[in-house]
Amino acid sequence: MGLVPAQEHSGERNPQKRISKEGDEMLRRLLVSSAHYILGPFGPDSDLRRYGEKIASRGGKNAKKRAVVAVARKLSVLLHRLWVTGEAYEPLHNARSTGTLGEEVA
């Protein structure tokens, strides 16, 4: 889907570049706009939101953009997993398993 950073192999260096943008452009747009909603002010509390907020809280110049792409990629993996297994979506699946359901994300 093009949400994985491209690699540039040059001698001993191996820097990460921007996302590769390979694959379906419309699907990538839908995933990124969904990630914007999840991280926005009206997004419900979920594991995806907590994950994105954790990445965005690291700070830096492009922290919010990096968090949006990371949530979009995680959303695509989650949707594929749910589609293959036929499981029901649980927004706070990881919070229930670790016992952090009532805690706020710092």
Q: Measured between alpha carbons, how far is residue 61 from residues 2, 52, 58 in Å?
A: 22, 15, 10
Residue 106 has a pLDDT of 44
Helix (H) / strand (E) containing 104:
none
For the stretch 38-77, pLDDT in tens is 999 998 899 999 999 999 998 888 889 889 988 998 999 8
For the stretch 16-41, pLDDT in tens is 566 667 778 888 889 999 999 999 99
Distance CA 64, CA 100 (A): 24
- In the predicted model, is pLDDT for residue 12 greater than 80? no
